[in-house]
Amino acid sequence: MGTATKGRTFAKLRPNHNIAEKKMKQDNAFAIPPDSPKGRVLAEKMDLLGLEVGALEAFCETMGEPTYRGRQLFSWIYEKGVFDITQMTDLPLDFRGRLAGYARVGHLQPDVAGADAEGTQKIIWRLCDGVRVESVRIPMSRPDGPRRWSLCISTQAGCAMGCVFCLTAKMGLVRQLSALEIVAQFLAAKNLLPEGGRFHNVVFMGMGEPLDNFEAVCRAARILTHPLAAGVSPRRLTVSTVGVASRLADFVREVPGAGVAVSLNASDEATRSRLMPVNRKWSLAHLLDVCRDLPVAERDRITFEYVLLGGENDSEADARRLCRLLGGIRCKVNLIPWNPFPGAPFVRPAGERVAAFREILLRSGLTATVRYSKGVEIGAACGQLADAARLREKGFPLAGGTLRAAPP
């Protein structure tokens, strides 16, 4: 984190500026129901979760402690996942006592956690204002070996981007998530892992458009990939975007080494504009120019995601156009056969068509993989995440599909 950012954060933390109140407004939006007696007490406190190492250092200084206490706090919270300040045993007792009276470390409770037979689990988090968001935990290894997992995290409740093939889009944007709420999904999901399990990959591909919530997403990504934190290397964290071209390069600079996945989903402007309204603002041609110039390291490649919609964007001509578009960009392509949801006017292409599409990419020298999303049956696959109650409110038909409502 640069000094400028550190300075800004520090200014927010000066005790005389009523830290607790300011931080509550900025960050503190969940965890303990505000109407519970415990919630009322804790609501007066500042939440340390979601703060970067520099901010925690500055915070400790304001409490008259040496700077390195901030790094200790950082690793208690993000590496060890300890939320109870009194249990942070290498901090002096007196400091722990003062800190616990003044601050807290929030956490999330899962509302519903449904798993399928392979272990893919959709976790629904209820935030303190009643808003629900979802994470998906996906097994990356066989059940009999040491278990490695991937975690898909939400960055917004709902989404404003309006992609017509995506269920989250039908919710509209409910609200932004704070850095705290993004990081908390990781820490709380880690606590739900079976003994010895760990997250090998983290993807910001759940609900929402990450680059539409830029500051919080960058902050959360920097926290999760910090060497003193949860052991996720930057290369194992990927942020997926509809292609907010104006923020792409900024993101690569703010979170160096993190993976970038860009959802293309069409091989021509007209189709892309029809499927993804964002294309009317940042065209395919412009987006690809930006991607060509992205300051990614020599060894890294951009991922292009391409949702295959039967009869819409899955022809051989589409595949050949895609090859031409991606010429000269160091990239790989991830094909995602469309995951259904009730009432959508799309079909998933047959396996042979997916294979034929991929074959054309491979023959032109591109790296191309197919992502058959896990968790389709439990509504946990790409593009299937949504709060059923909110969809109902918006008049979206839910009958007979893969969606399940969370209990009220």
Binding site for ligand SAH (CB under 6 A): 165-166, 205, 209, 240-242, 263, 265, 305, 307, 336, 338-339, 382-383
**Which positions ≥6 away from 80 have C-beta within 8 Å?**
none
Q: What's the N-to-C CA distance of the chain in angstroms?
A: 40
To ligand SAH, the closest distance from the beta carbon of 294 in angstroms equals 16
Full DSSP string of 33-53: -TTSHHHHHHTTSEE-TT--H
Angle in degrees, 0-180, between the axes of helices 316-326 and 284-292, rounded to the nearest 10:
40
Q: Which is nearer to ligand SAH, 183 or 382 (CB)?
A: 382
To ligand SAH, the closest distance from the beta carbon of 227 in angstroms equals 27
To ligand SAH, the closest distance from the beta carbon of 382 in angstroms equals 4
To ligand SAH, the closest distance from the beta carbon of 205 in angstroms equals 4
Q: Which is nearer to ligand SAH, 30 or 338 (CB)?
A: 338
The CA distance from 85 to 107, in Å, is 13
> CA-CA-CA-CA torsion for 173, 178, 182, 183, nearest 10 degrees?
180
Q: Which is nearer to ligand SAH, 28 or 168 (CB)?
A: 168
**Which positions ≥6 away from 166 have C-beta within 8 Å?**
159, 383
| HSE of 272, CA atoms in CB hemisphere, 13 A | 25
To ligand SAH, the closest distance from the beta carbon of 254 in angstroms equals 17
**Helices and strands per DSSP (H, E), number in the chain:** 15, 14
Strands 121-126 and 110-115, bridge-based pairing: antiparallel
* CA 257, chain centre distance (Å): 16
Q: Which is nearer to ligand SAH, 135 or 241 (CB)?
A: 241
Q: Which is nearer to ligand SAH, 149 or 338 (CB)?
A: 338
To ligand SAH, the closest distance from the beta carbon of 323 in angstroms equals 19
Residue number with the smallest Cβ distance to ligand SAH: 383
Q: Which is nearer to ligand SAH, 166 or 366 (CB)?
A: 166
Active-site amino acid positions = 134, 382
* Angle at the Cα of 169 from the Cα atoms of 50 and 333, rounded to 5 degrees: 80
- Look-up: residue for tokens 């799309």? 346
